[in-house]
């Protein structure tokens, strides 16, 4: 299997084959509108504005599995993100990223990159606290919280996984290297 074998549903209910993004660098993020990390939408949009023309796509997958922090409908989530953060990158329908109902795409991503880059000591401490709050991260490789980021190169290889504490700006060098 490759990332291009998956088809996901966008926030408008349309089937979107990920093969449509072949040849682009992808940053795939599970998000939530009511999370302490939600302001990262600003940084994600900044990356998109800076690098979309060079081949970056950011794929936003809302998830309500962590603290009920994305309770709205797909339309409500899109409206919030566009009005509050000016989001213009592709937004998809809400999914599960862990457990029996996890999206097959996320099972694939986690199998490709089970470990995530965390950052400094402060980030490690924050992630330990987050792990204790997570009720769906039960096995190694599971997503621990909202705003976990997967970086995919132009050939469809999952080349990085980054913890929620890693800010979008911190991914810029990795993205530029792949572009």
- Catalytic residue, chosen from 3, 11, 28, 35, is 35
CA 177 to chain centre: 19
Tell me which residue of 47, 27, 36 sits closest to 146, measured CA to CA: 36
Separation between Cα atoms, residue 18 and residue 31, nearest integer Å: 18
Q: What is the DSSP string of 124-166?
A: HHHHHHHHHH-SS--STT---STT-EEEE-TTS-EEEEE-TTS
Catalytic site residue 35? yes
CB burial string 87-119: b at 16+ within 10 A, e below: bebbbbbbbbbbeeebbebbebbbebbeebbbb
Active site members: 35
């Amino acid at each position: 299997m490759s990332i291009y074998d998956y088809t996901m549903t966008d926030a408008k209910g349309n089937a979107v084959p990920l093969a449509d993004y072949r040849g682009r660098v992808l940053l795939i993020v599970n998000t939530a509108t009511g999370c302490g990390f939600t302001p990262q939408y600003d940084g994600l949009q900044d990356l998109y504005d800076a690098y979309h023309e060079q081949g970056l796509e950011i794929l936003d997958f809302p998830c309500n599995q962590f603290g009920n922090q994305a309770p709205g409908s797909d339309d409500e989530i899109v409206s919030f993100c566009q009005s509050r953060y000016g989001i213009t990158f592709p937004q998809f329908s809400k999914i599960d990223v862990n457990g029996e109902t996890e999206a097959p795409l996320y099972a694939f991503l986690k199998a490709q990159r089970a470990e995530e880059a965390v950052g400094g000591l402060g980030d490690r401490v924050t992630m330990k606290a987050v792990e204790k709050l997570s009720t769906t991260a039960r096995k190694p490789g599971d997503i621990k919280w909202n705003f976990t980021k997967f970086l995919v190169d132009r050939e469809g290889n999952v080349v990085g996984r980054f913890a929620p504490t890693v800010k979008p700006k911190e991914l810029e060098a990795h993205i530029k290297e792949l572009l």
